[in-house]
Amino acid sequence: MRVAFLVATEGIEQVELTEPWQAVSRAGGRPSLIAPEPGRVQAFNHLDKADTFPVDLTVGEAKAEDFDALVLPGGVANPDALRVDEEAVALVRGFFDQGKPVAAICHAPWTLVEAGVLRGRTLTSWPSLRTDLVNAGATWVDEEVHVCTAAPSVLITSRNPDDLPAFCTALLAELKG
């Protein structure tokens, strides 16, 4: 299984990238890091710079049909940058259009708002996104992980790094199912 991890050039919450990445790898999957620009992306531990990671494909090179699922890590700056990148938003929308699973944690649902894919869905996120998600037509819940099976795509969401074990378990269950 090929899993796309879509991130901005900087501002990614490192643990929200690395833990799902490792879970996918341990399960025999092939994760790929996709970003707007080639080179490396800068992750953060909350507000402090952390590690950098090599980009496998740019947003312009990536196609939803080449992957089995999409993971959107959080971090405040990461989804805020992605939501103004038209190619990134189109790529996200492509996963939904093709009915492929999408997993988003913490602030990552901001990108989903911009993609226009939340109407009629139920999801969770970092609490400060609640109003944005409701205004986009979603129902917001305060849960460790929420799996929304509304067509066309399964949407897996969690609130924050503390929820990563449940998030990764739900992601792997969907990929194996």
pLDDT at 118: 98
Q: How much is the mean pLDDT over the chain? A: 97
Q: 13-34 pLDDT, tens per residue?
A: 999 999 999 999 999 999 999 9
The two structure tokens encoding residue 100: 């492929």
- Closest alpha carbon to 76 in 54, 96, 105: 105
Residues 84-117 pLDDT 10s: 999 999 999 999 999 999 999 999 999 999 999 9
pLDDT bucket at 8, cuts 50 / 70 / 90: very high
The residue range of the domain holding 161 is: 2-176
Per-residue pLDDT averaged across 59-75, rounded? Answer: 98
Q: What is the pLDDT of residue 48?
A: 96
Tell me the percentage of the chain whose pLDDT exceeds 70: 100
CATH number, residue 128: 3.40.50.880
**Total-model pTM:** 0.98
Say how many domains are in the chain: 1
Arithmetic mean of pLDDT, 56-67: 98
pLDDT for the residue numbered 174: 97
Q: Which residues are catalytic?
A: 106-107
* Among 1, 68, 77, 70, residue whose Cα is nearest residue 33: 70
> Which two structure tokens, joined as six digits, stand for 46?
């909350």
Alpha helix segments (H runs only) across the chain: 14-26, 77-82, 86-97, 109-115, 130-135, 164-176
Does residue 177 register a pLDDT over 90?
A: no
Q: Which residues pair with 63 in a beta bridge?
A: none
